[in-house]
Structures are given as structure tokens and as C-alpha cells.
Structure 1
Amino acid sequence: MSSVVVVGSGPNGLVAAVLLADCGFDVEVIEAAALPGGGLHTSELTLPGFRHDVCASVYPLALASPVLRGMGLEREGLRWAHSPVALAHPLDGAAAGLLHRSLSRTAAELGEDGARWRTLVGSAAAAGDTLVDALMSPLQFPRRGHRDLLRYGTAGVLPAAWLAPAALRGEPARAMFAGLAAHSALHLGAPLTSGYGVLLAALAHRVGWPVVVGGSDQLAAALVARLRSRGGRITLGRKVIDVRELSYADAVVLDVGPRQLLELAGPLLPASYARGLRRFRSGPGVFKVDWALDGPVPWRDSRVATAATVHLGGTLGQVVAAERAVAQGRHVDRPFVLFGQPTVADPSRAPRGGHIAWAYCHVPNSSTRDMTAAIEAQVERFAPGFAERVIGRHVMGPAQLQAHNANLIGGDIAGGSADWRQFLFRPMPAREPWVVPIRNTYLCSASTPPGGGVHGMGGFHAAGALLRRMGGPTSSATPWGSGSRT
């Protein structure tokens, strides 16, 4: 039986491990941390009984992922929970924009922008799996859905700062679209940012924006259970220093970023490849705060209390200005804040009567500025009295995030900037960027296509590249054939 070692147990590493174990390989996952999952980690960060997701918390891409949706992880105990409203975007002195699972209800509440919202995101929502499949395999010519992809791309390549005012008229719709586009971690005058807005809105209408019941670590636990059921093994608390330590394996799959790849394999890499890795650019960092609360957040617009995800940034112009400042290396007093209240969807995360909440804002990479006060001021802006609800607080700046997960360089949670130069060509231009030019070595992290987010597709593509070269004990099997489609 051919053996594979996977270094790193983030979602991409675990997906690669599961797929290869499904295909008959002897698979071992090696993880430096004491627990598997990478960013899929839940902990009592503030007070006993309050379970906070350390990194990722909301999972539209996981639910839509071509590989995860067909693994049947629900058989391993995975459960999803949805809040009544997917997303809210409150405004000063006006009604919040609400993104419902129902496209029709969202459009109806947007009034004059209802038809425009349908035009902007409706076709992407209707395209469903075909569009998501194509976007998750960006270097492959799609087998179907060409018209959907073309329609999406026509709007998606545009800067959100241009498209939002051109396509929409009212502030609720414009601001809501800007907040969605800001998940790109790019300034909204950059090309491709509209693609993030359209896709995330479409996913809300198609699959919702769920949380994992019990915490994000339950997604990791389901993947680990699936791996072990196929004979795979996980070694925790072992840090690999040099890829040559793994010479006993027939192949190695690395769930690491470019910097770590250089550290692990630098002397073995061709000079041109090493230069390409050094040129890879990180995106902005993140400053994150988690809270334990003694009651629900007191939103001025009470409807915001029904959304597990809330965007706090004000108008389109204010969101654009905040993200532009970060891209220019500056901090702002009123950052764009991504806010989560998971207990709206999953009350099990806190003791009876209690709630948890989290928020983060983008900051210049490796920033050392404490943004707690600025973030909490943005929450108070739309939820007066929030501070009185806080009974516990935990803060993680870029350095703490990188210490938790070495792939989060300078607090970058997206595996590198996703601007037009690195959107497709990650970590550098290559026909198969998951192949490392060392014998039977592969890269599967978010620094490969299709990039950041919890979807496992970096692991899927790396496993596919390995199978195309090695065949394997089940030579006719492929990751698609092993259960990534239903």
C-alpha cells in the first residue's frame, strides 16, 4: 500500500487526507498543535461554558463546497444551524439591510432596489452548484454552466466601489453589497471585489450562512472521524522541521503557506520556484475580539438580533473608505467590522441566558495596534448599551493569530492577498500550482487555488494532482469519484 503523509490538519489538509484514504492510500496526518483542525478550533476563550470559535465561524462556502457537500459528514455527527436572517447591515438613522435566505423576501424589503438586487445576484443564486463548482476549480474549463459563469464574471470582475452605486440606488442595498465585497480583504476599488459580493449574496440565497452546532471544531471532528474510519491516522504535537524527515512516505501533501514551504524544503527547491514563493504577498491582518455576554446584543434596529452575521460599517462610502485605508497601511477610528452572534443560531454555545459574540476588523499586516476600543465603538454605534452586556472578553491581534496558526502570516486569514495577480495564480503562475517541484510533494493550503475560506478545495485539487501522477492502490479512483458529488 502506498503511503502519504499530510502535514497540517486544517480543512484542506484533512480533506486531502480523507480523499486519499478513500482511494486506498495509507494516510498519516501530522499536526504541530495539540488539537486537529487548524482554524477549525473552538474554545472557552472568555468564561467557562462560553464556546467561541477561535478563527472561522460562519460557513456558506463549506455548505456549498463541491467536495464537502458530498462527503456525508452528517453521518459523522456534523450538524448545521441557521439564524432566521443570514446577514444584517445596520445603518445610522435608517432601517438595516437584511439578507434573507429567500431572494424574494430580500428583494421585497429592499423596495426600489428589489428588482435591481434580483438582477445583480439572482442569476448567480439560481445557477446553484454549477457556478460554485466552476469557481472552486478556477484553472479548469467548466464542463457545464458556461453561461452562468460568463454572466457572473461580467459583474464579478468589476470593483465593488464602482458596481454598487451603478447597479443599486438605496443605501441599504449599496451598503450591504459593499460589506459582502469587503470579505475579499481588498480595497473596494480593486478589480474582482464585486465577485465576492455577488457570490456571498448568492450563497446566502442558495444555502444560507450557517454555523456548526457546538462549534467549528465539530467540523474538524467529523473530518477526523471520516479519516479514521478509512484507516487514516493523526499524529498531534509533532512539528515537522524539514520535509526530508518524511522520506519514508511515498508522497507528501503540505497544508502550509509559501513561507513555511521555504522553511521546510528550501534547499530542495529549484531557485526559480523559491523566488516565486518569496514574491508571494500576504493580505491585510485581522484584529479579533470575542465576548461573553449576559444577554442578547441590544441592537437599535431589533431585526438585527435575528442575524448570526452582522456587518458594521455604515454606508457604502464609509465601508469603502475604511477598507481603502487598510490597503494603504493605515488604521481608522471607524473600521469596517465583521460581527458574529452565533448563539442566535446555536444557543448551545453559552449557558442559559448567556450569549457569545465575536468581531474582527482588517488591519495592516502584522499590525500591533490594539483595535478593541475602535471595534467596540462600532458595536455601540448600532447597539447602544452593548458594553453593559459584556462579562468576558478575549483579544487576538495579528501576532496572536499567527501564533495560533502558523499559516496566518501577519494575521492574514485568507492565505495571501487575493488581488488580480494572486486570485488565480497562487502561489505563482503554474498549470498545476498544487504540485511542488520535489518528487511526489504537493501543496494544498489556502495559498493555492481557489484560495481562502473553509471549503476544502485546495485539498481536493492537491489530492487530484497526486492521483494523476501516482495512480495509487485504487488507480481508477479520483476525488470526484470518492464521494465529492452526490
Structure 2
Amino acid sequence: MDVAIVGTGPNGLSAGVTLARAGLKVELFEAADSIGGGLRTHSLFDSEVTHDICAAIHPMAASSFFFRTFDLPARGVELLSPEISYAHPLDGGRAGLAHRDLVTAAAHLGPDGPNWWRLMRPLLDHSEAIVDMILFGQRRPPRDLRAAALLATRVIVGGTRMGAARFTTEEARSLLGGVAAHAMGKLPSLASGAVAMLLGHLAHGVGWPIPRGGSARIAEAMATDILAHGGVFHTEHMIKDIHELKDYGLVFFDTSMKGFLSIAGDRLPYRYSQLLLNFRYGPGAAKVDFLVSEPIPWANAQVGKAGTVHLGGTYSEMVQQETATARGIATAEPFVLVVDPAVADLDRARPGKRPIWAYAHVPNGDTRGLTHVISQRIERYAPGFRDTIVAARGISASDYESYNANYVGGDIGSGAMTLYQAIARPVPRLDPYKTPIRGIYLCSAATPPGPSVHGMSGYLAALSALRREYGLSSPPSLSPQEGVSL
């Protein structure tokens, strides 16, 4: 047998697609009863209404090299971009609004409009090059030096206090701080600055789309392609020891480093094991799923046009909250990210029944259920929200790891997004996917380029193996048209 892949999250699936397209026999093992990892969609309260269990908003699925070439739309996956990519409500009915159209976004920022335009417009002009430069794992020279220079200067600005200082309104500062907070770490930092520039400019480009029908549609499209090329899935099959996979020529791990050590630790060289043991995890996420009777009654009605809403207060408040959380200190008013999928996908709601969910950033391993805290955070900017709640389910950061072992301590980013670890994850190696054991590769979001549903960690790991093990220098075709390379 050719290849075993442990884990069927987006990167395990992208590795499977790539290897199967190269002509290898691929078998994927999943401990849960369904594939997808962070791409699962389930009914929680009502059979007619579905919730995305983790990933829900997908700018990377609309822009990464893997998904551009895999071509989700051609495979029936419709990515729906809201009119407003993300919003950041403030007290008094004010709000920062990241309209997908940059002209409209700048116009709504008043005196800060020209500055926002100058920050984002050049990135949009070089968007594909910038996305590829970041998502190819920082392991190859930039092909567009102009794009590299534009990104570098903006990361320095966005990753320091200079970023907020260039704006005079809290609306603009909050838009910058809210998108930077997706790094789930200290604010500001160069790592958060890179995240802010990547996600921030895409908000005005491909947008922050929602897959029609839920995130599971992305996983289903990849699984369908794997099956079409002879792949096999084994669900409810937990791999506990690497010796179970001794009959496979290649083995890929779409797992946390904690999980990989548990499975393969006795075969790893001591120094490599120690480096993996020193891998740092980031803050956790505590989630609440709501079933509500009507759209969220935001004080600023424009916020209701956004699929994603950041609740963090002012820029200064976000800096305090996120920095404390990264240090392991719980805050009374954590940063909260709200997703309202029916803003773009109207079929996700039914009369009197609408799915809403929200994450709070909390210290890693936090055991608190935050249903009350998160509902209060929403109520602050949407008076009357609590009266619309039909049902709610909260899951703590520590419980998130029980749901998906890759989320160590609730870290849905699969590792702290520090500048060093963003580049040298999980260990400082030129090829971070190849382990010291022959034929064993890592392909999870703990490897470059890191978190988000981009498929690039699995794709790059697969290319590494095809190059090293089979001498294949040209990647297999990923387009919907058939094509086997080996």
C-alpha cells in the first residue's frame, strides 16, 4: 500500500488529493465518525438548521494556490461573499465597516478613508502574489519583489503601534485591530501585522466568503476527488501507534504535534522529539452556538450586513485583552468573533430559526463555559439579543480538544502565532514536512503556512514527499479535469 494519512482535516484532505492525483493509492484514517476536522457542519438544535463546528469563513479557500487550482466553484462549492466582509461595532451605535468594495469602505471611514485606501489598494493590486508569498510557507524567494516590499512595509506598520496611530477615528483603528486579533496572540506584533494585511486586503478582494450549505461542502468536494482517484476513507479508526501503519510506504500526519508524539514518539530521535515538545500552543477558543428567532438586532443596522463581526471594543481595549489572554490571564470582556452565515446564505435560516455562533479568545486550556459572557458581549452592541435566543450550547477551550485532538488546549490555530514560530513551525528545518523517520511526513496546520483553511500545508507536504520519494519535480494537476502523473 502506498500512502496512509492520519487525520482528515483540510490539510489531510489536500495532501490526499495531491497524492491521489499523482497516482498513489491513498488511505485516510479519521478517529471521528465523519471526515473534515475543522470543516464539519452539523445540526445542533433543529434538523433544518446547521452550524459550522469550527471554520466558517473562508477567504483562504477563495484565494490560496491549492484551492484556486482545485477550483471549488467548478466542483459545485459556491462561496458567498457578504456585502460587508467584517464589522466592528462600537458603543453609541458607531461601527467600523469593512465593505467588500474598497471605495465604499473608504467613503464610510470619513477622514481615515484615504489612509485606509492607501494601506489596502496596493495590496489588492498584487493580491495573488502576496497570498502565494505567505502561503507557500516562506520557503522560496518572492517572485514579485514589488509585492514583497509592499507587504513588508505594511506588516511593520500594522504590527506596531504605528498602525493604529496613522488613523484618527476609532472606527478605522478598530477595523485594523479586529482583523489583527485573528492571529490569537499579543497585540500588536509582527505576526499579527502579517495576519492583518493578509486578511484585511482580502476583505476588499475575494471577500470573506461563506460556503453555501456550510463548511462541510469544502471537505466533501475534496473527499469526492480522492474517492474518484481510488482513495479510501476509514472513519472511527483512531491510530494509536505508528507501528499500525508499517505496511504503508508513506505516512502523513494531519495531527497536532502532541498527537504525533503520542503516536510516533518512540521512533523519533531524541533531539527532534525535544523540539516538538517545546512547540508552543496559543490561546484557546471558547465557543457558543445559538439558535435565535430573528437576525441579531445590532444597534448599527449596517453591522447586520456583515458575515463576521468582531467584538473587542476600542483598539486599546483589544490590545489589553489579547495581550493578557496570550499571557494566560483571563479577562472579563474577551475578544469575541461572531458569525452569522445567513447574511450571505439565506437557506441557512428558517422562519423563526437562525444559526449564530461566536468564539471568545481565552487562555489555553481554559475550562470556563462562556455562554453568559458571550451573550452579554453581543447584547452590549445589540440590545435585545438575549430575548431572541431559542437555544444555546457552549463549549470551553479545554472541551474543544476533546472534540478535536488537534486543538490542544482549545488552540484552533494549531500553535502560537509568534513571528519565530510562524516561520519555524513546528521545528526550524528547511523542509518542515519531512521528519527524521524515512517516509514519515507532517502536514497539519502546525506546519507552514499555519492556520486557516487553505490546504497549503497538506499540498506542500505532498509535494515534498513526491519530490524526495519519487523524484517528481512537477506537481500533479489539481483541476477538475482528470490527470494522473505517476
Q: Is the 8 A contact 1:76 1:226 kept in 2?
A: no
Give a deviation string over 1:349-368, Cα, whole Å, max 9, x none. Answer: 23234211111111110011
My pick for the range that moved more, 153-162 or 204-213, is 153-162
Matched-pair contact (CA < 8 Å) for 1:323–1:336 = yes
Give the aligned length.
481
Q: Please give the alpha-carbon distance, in whole angstroms, between the structure 1 residues aligned to 2:474 and 2:140.
A: 21
Whole-angstrom distance in 2 between the partners of 1:477 and 1:27: 19
Contact preservation (8 Å) 1:285, 1:363: yes
Q: Structure 1: which amino acid aligns with 2:241? A: D
Write the mapping of 1:343-382 to structure 2, written as runs, cut at 5 A: 343-382=342-381
Paired with 1:332 and 1:161, the residues of 2 have a C-alpha distance of 22
Residues 175-184 or 90-99, more deviating = 90-99
Q: Is the 8 A contact 1:296 1:354 kept in 2?
A: no
Q: Which moved more, 1:118-127 or 1:390-399?
A: 118-127
Q: CA deviation at 1:242?
A: 1.0
Aligned to 1:103: 102
Residues of 1 paired with 2:216 and 2:93: CA distance?
37
1:145-160 to 2 correspondence within 5 Å? Answer: 145-158=144-157, 160=159
Alignment match, 1:184: 183
- Cα distance in 2 for residues equivalent to 1:45 and 1:258: 30
Q: How far apart are residue 72 of structure 1 and its match?
A: 2.3
Residues 333-387 of structure 1 deviation map (CA, whole Å, 9 limit, x = unaligned): 2211101111111122232342111111111100112222221111001000000
How many percent identity over aligned positions?
A: 39
Paired AA for residue 462 in structure 2? A
1:161-218 residue CA offsets vs partner (Å, 9 max, x unmatched): 5033222111100011100000000121333222211111111111000111111111
Match of 1:468 in 2: 467
Runs of 4+ in 1 over 3 A off after TM superposition: 157-161, 481-485
- 1:158 deviates by 4.9
Instruction: Name the Cα RMSD after superposition.
Output: 1.6
Q: Distance in 2 between matches of 1:44 and 1:303?
A: 28
Q: Which has the higher mean CA deviation after the structures are superposed, 75-84 or 27-36?
A: 75-84
Report if aligned partners of 1:160, 1:178 keep a CA contact under 8 Å in 2: no
Q: CA deviation at 1:61?
A: 1.1
- Distance in 1, matches of 2:16 and 2:179, equals 32
| Structure 2 portions without partners, runs of 5+ | 482-486
Greater mean deviation of Cα atoms: 72-81 or 237-246: 72-81
Aligned to 1:59: 58
Contact 1:426 1:449 in 2 (8 A): yes
Alignment of 1:308-327 (within 5 A): 308-327=307-326
**Deviations along 1:430-485, whole A, 9 cap, x unmatched?**
0000001111110000100000111011001100110111127xx46415x44499
Partner SS state of residue 62, structure 2? helix
SS at match of 1:295: coil
Instruction: Name 2:329's counterpart in structure 1.
Output: 330
SS at match of 2:320: helix
Q: Which position in structure 2 is the counterpart of 1:387?
A: 386
Q: Which residue does the alignment assign to 1:478?
A: 475
Deviation at 1:125? Answer: 1.7
Structure 1 residues 383-425: Cα deviation after superposition (integer angstroms, max 9, x where no partner)? 0000010001011111221111110000000010010220100
Q: CA deviation at 1:138?
A: 3.1
Q: Displacement, 1:263?
A: 0.8
Match of 2:68 in 1: 69
Q: 1:150 to 1:484 in 2, by over 3 A?
A: farther
